Chains A and B, each alone.
Chain A
Amino acid sequence: MTSTAGLGPGPRRGAGPPTRNAGRWRTRVVLGVPAALALLLLVVPLVALLLQADWARIPSDLATPTVLPALRLSLTTTSITAVLCLLLGTPLAWFLARSDHPATSWARALLTVPLVLPPVVGGVALLMTWGRNGLIGQHLAPFGIQIPFTTVAVVLAETFVAMPYYVLAVEASMRGLDPRLESVARTLGAGDLRYLRTVAVPLVLPGIASGLALAWARALGEFGATITFAGNFPGRTQTLPLLVYVELERDPQVAISISIMLLAVSVLVLGVLRGRWLR
């Protein structure tokens, strides 16, 4: 089993005195047992999912009339979310990375809140903002614009939970740039926007890519905020995770098949992150 490498008895570095060997064994037991438990807690559910799957049924399950609209909706909304992260999050990361103003650290702290907030709470907060009587929603209602329980709401919920991942990844990457590069670029005549476009963004592309992958994966798995704020309407707001939840009641095998697909996608994203961009 390669998954426990480093936990079991490693290569011996010469035979020590018996008492030291005994001490080493005690360390291995005291630390090794909880470590192995931790690993099992994480791995067993995944294995269980794979074991329970009826692999022959997966293609037909995924062709079920309810799956295709959910898949299409998930792909559309997560792609839009990724684009929103790119267009809005990159400038935010840029400001956060450059400023040492005290307000910046406050902004960064606020940004991490959605990371730790229970998604359902995020959904409630979004309702309080965009709902009929919400902070912004009440001004939209007179124009006949209703956001909650629409596809737009799905995108807003996904963006709310995914944007922080993107901004933090890109900011870290931008902070890694040598500030003297900017000084040089400016003496050469490049203003902020030109420096951003021609030097900063090309150099932080790996950070942008990993930020996008993280944000996209997070958006794809979004459940709590979506079901609270956007509801669960097939074809309109029912994304893949919501469908899994519904199918689990109706036809568990379909739920498992969709789950396997989502698992495969997650592993793919992780592989891309590990292989290309995270060293």
Chain B
Amino acid sequence: MIDTTPRTGGLDARIRLTRGAVQVDVALTAEPGQVVGVLGPNGGGKTSAVLALAGVLRLDDGHVRVAGEVWADGRRHLVPEQRGVGLMLADSLLFPHLRALDNVAYGPRSRGVDRRTARERAGVELERVGLGDRVAAKPLELSSGQQARVALARALATDPTLLLLDEPLAALDPDTRARTRTDLATRLAAYTGVTVLVTHDPLDALTLADHLVFVEDGRVTQTGTPSDVLREPRSAYAGTVVGLNLYAAQGDSHGHVLTADGGLIVTTSPTEGAVWATVAPSAVSLHEHEPEGSPRNTWRLRIASVTMQGQSARVGLTGDLPLTAEVTLESVAALGLHVGREVWAAVKATEVHTYPR
């Protein structure tokens, strides 16, 4: 019943189109079974790329090839119903007048499967997302997390070769999101096609995706595995996603790093030329008086923001170098950290990581 045969050929797409003010030019490739996480700020072209893969938007140029089939190129444009694609969006967008079972059976029915077989298949898909007992429920009778799972089951019930998830968890409250993320991970592990997951939640990307693509202002700014990106983010946005202080800078062989804003950082791992320099917020210490001792960077900076995060606080600093520090709540109290105050920030030279831009 469920298609477990491995698929030949994955996703190979070059998406070029204009949507509003954004010129999108994005290349996406993936092997069968892979999950590609597409990240980027809103309005940067992520959703346009997804709609182009689905066939809802036409390409101006480029191509979409999936599992050895050409879905779109200079001459050809398959409409969505001709593509083997599953689509799941932030609002689960279930058909409100159909019960869960018929929502999931809608795809097979639309593709010519008889009613009984389609419903059997829908039952199996709902079972796989843990909703075997809610088949008769109308969407409004389901919780938001359950609705999302029905939407996933519906998207997979047609055996798509390409599964598109556009912010699938964005509409859920935090608790539900965590649980649904686990369900999603479980279900995706058993899926043999290519998944494209659009998100701006770092946790979704890092826990669900095998490969990340950052799209900003219509362009790809970085690709790599989650651990590549965690180690070496290559755009301000990627830096924010992984939570590192990131600077575009010029480095020399003596370990001096000059940031684009004129800040100077000393590192024990020099890289010459145009570099990215990263500092983990947890490697930043804050002091009332200028600290001395082992080779370290010190700056006198002004506190611009203090936000709590569990047992620690993130302190936003401005001055010669914009910097985020993560300190314990105790130090917030002991140092009397508050917005507007000036403090000394110190980072050991061994904690500054540089790599070519």
Which A residues have a C-beta under 8 Å from some C-beta of B? 178, 180-181, 183-191, 194, 198-199, 202-203
Q: Are A187 and B81 in contact (CB under 8 A)?
A: yes
CB proximity to A under 8 Å, residues B45-68? 51, 54-56
For B106, give its contact among A180, A188, A191, A202 (CB under 8 Å). A188
The answer to whether A186 touches B80 (Cβ under 8 A) is: yes
* Residues of chain B within 8 A of A178, CB atoms compared: 91, 93
Q: Give B89's nearest chain A residue, CB to CB.
A: A180
- Distance A278 CA – B357 CA, assembled complex (angstroms): 61
**Complex interface: chain B residues within 8 A of A198 (CB):** 95, 106
B165 to chain A, nearest CB (A): 12
Q: Contact at A184–B93, with CB atoms within 8 Å?
A: yes
CA distance A151 to B225 in the complex (A): 75
**In the bound complex, do residue A189 and residue B93 qualify as a contact, i.e. CB atoms below 8 Å apart?**
no
**Is A189 a contact of B110 with CB atoms below 8 Å?**
yes
Shortest A181–chain B CB gap in Å is 6
CB pair B85–A187 under 8 Å, yes or no, is: yes
A93 CB to closest chain B CB (Å) equals: 19
Q: In the assembled complex, which residues on chain A have CB atoms less than 8 Å from the CB atom of B80? A: 183, 186-187
Are B87 and A187 within 8 A (Cβ)? yes
A178 to chain B, nearest CB (A): 7
Q: Complex: how many Å from CA A79 to CA B27? A: 58
User: Could you list 20 A-B pairs, sorted by A, with CB under 8 Å?
Assistant: A183-B51, A183-B80, A184-B87, A185-B95, A185-B110, A186-B81, A187-B54, A187-B80, A187-B86, A187-B155, A187-B160, A187-B164, A188-B106, A188-B154, A188-B158, A190-B81, A194-B110, A199-B95, A199-B97, A203-B97
Question: Does A185 contact B106, Cβ atoms closer than 8 Å?
Answer: yes
Given A191-B81, A194-B110, the answer on whether A186 and B56 have CB atoms closer than 8 Å is yes
* Residue among A180, A181, A189 making CB contact with B111, cutoff 8 Å: A189
Contact A181 B95 (CB under 8 A): yes
Bound Cα distance from A194 to B93, whole angstroms: 17
Q: Which residues of A contact B89 (CB under 8 A)?
A: 180, 184
Within 8 Å by CB of B87, from A183, A191, A199, lies A183
Give every chain B residue within 8 A of A186 (Cβ-Cβ). 55-56, 79-81
CA distance A183 to B110 in the complex (A): 14
Report the minimal beta-carbon distance from B323 to chain A, rounded to whole angstroms: 41
In the complex, A208→B349 CA distance in Å? 72
Contacts of B54 in A (CB 8 A): 183, 187
Cα–Cα distance between A198 and B56 once the two chains are bound (Å) = 20
B340 contacts chain A at the CB level, 8 A cutoff: no
Name which residue of chain B comes closest to A190, CB basis: B110
In whole angstroms, what is the CA distance A177 to B83 when docked? Answer: 24
Cβ contacts under 8 Å, A181 to chain B: 93, 95
Within B152-170, which residues are at the interface with A (CB < 8 Å)? 154-155, 158, 160, 164
Q: What CA separation (Å) do A22 and B87 show in the bound complex?
A: 64
Chain A: CB-nearest residue to B50? A183
Q: Considering the chains assembled together, what is the distance between the CA atoms of A180 and B81 in angstroms?
A: 14
Known: A180-B91, A186-B55. 12 other contacts (CB 8 A): A183-B54, A183-B56, A184-B89, A185-B106, A187-B83, A187-B85, A188-B154, A189-B81, A189-B111, A190-B106, A191-B81, A199-B95
Does B107 touch A at the CB level, under 8 Å? yes
A188→B79 CA distance, assembly (Å): 11
Task: Tell me, in angstroms, the Cα distance from A183 to B95 when the chains sit together.
Answer: 12
The CA-CA distance from A188 to B121 in the complex, in Å, is 14
Q: Report the minimal beta-carbon distance from A98 to chain B, rounded to whole angstroms.
A: 13
Q: By the criterion CB–CB under 8 Å, are A203 and B110 in contact?
A: no
Give B118 Cβ to nearest chain A Cβ, in Å. 11
* In-complex Cβ contact of B93 among A180, A191, A202, A203 (8 A): A180
Chain B hits for A202, CB < 8 A = 97
Chain B proximity of A173: nearest CB distance (Å): 14
| Cβ-closest 4 pairs across A and B | A189-B110, A188-B107, A186-B80, A189-B111
> Which residues of A sit under 8 angstroms from B155, Cβ to Cβ?
187
Chain A residues near B130 (CB-CB < 8 A): none
B126 to chain A, nearest CB (A): 15
Closest to A188 in B: B107
Instruction: Please tell me if B273 contacts chain A, counting CB pairs below 8 Å.
Output: no
A63: min CB distance to chain B, Å = 45
Tell yes or no: B96 within 8 A of A by CB. Answer: yes
A189 to B109, CA, bound (A): 8
Q: How far is the CB of B231 from chain A (nearest CB, A)?
A: 36
A184–B86 Cα gap in the complex (Å)? 8
A183 and B53 alpha carbons, distance in the complex (Å): 12
A199 and B106 alpha carbons, distance in the complex (Å): 10
Q: Are B93 and A188 in contact (CB under 8 A)?
A: no
CA distance A194 to B155 in the complex (A): 18
In the assembled complex, the Cα of A216 lies from the Cα of B62 at a distance in Å of 52
CA distance A178 to B90 in the complex (A): 13
Give residues 135-180 of B contacting A (CB, 8 Å).
Answer: 154-155, 158, 160, 164
Residue among A178, A185, A186, A189 with most chain B CB within 10 A:
A189
- Cα(A186)–Cα(B89), bound, Å: 14
A189 pairs with B56, CB closer than 8 A: no
Contact A189 B95 (CB under 8 A): no
Q: B156 CB to closest chain A CB, in angstroms? A: 11
**Distance A194 CA – B106 CA, assembled complex (angstroms):** 10
Complex-state Cα separation, A35 to B110, whole angstroms: 56
Closest residue of chain A to B111, judged by CB? A189
Q: Which residue of A lies closest to B51 (CB)?
A: A183
